[in-house]
Amino acid sequence: MATTAKFVCAGCRWWHFHPTEGAEPDSEQAVGYCRRFPPSRRDNGVGAWPITFGNDWCGEYADKSDVSRQMSRSATAAH
């Protein structure tokens, strides 16, 4: 099954773009951190989020626009 461009890391609410030389957030060279789960501890004892490319994908995808809808609902509910 092929994935569509919509469901890749670059469009996910959990993905944090990490600027690298010559890579824009929407380019194939874009690199970032998946912050869906807490950082995992590596063999050297240091915790880190997984590094992914913007065009990678997984089963935990959540659209960035879903965040703004949830935020606006919770803000109106608080008033």
Label residue 1 by pLDDT band (50, 70, 90): very low
Q: What is the pLDDT of residue 75?
A: 54
Q: Would you say residue 13 has pLDDT above 90? A: yes
User: Taking the model in full, what pTM does it have?
Assistant: 0.65
Between strands 40-41 and 31-34, the pairing is unpaired
The span from the CA of 72 to the CA of 12, in Å, is 18
How is the chain split into domains, by residue range?
5-78
C-alpha 40/C-alpha 48 separation (Å) is 5
Of 31, 49, 33, give the one whose Cα is nearest residue 41. 49
Note the pLDDT tens digit of each residue in 15-65: 999 888 877 777 777 899 999 999 988 888 888 899 999 999 998 999 988
Q: Is 55 helix (H, G, I), strand (E, B) or coil?
A: coil
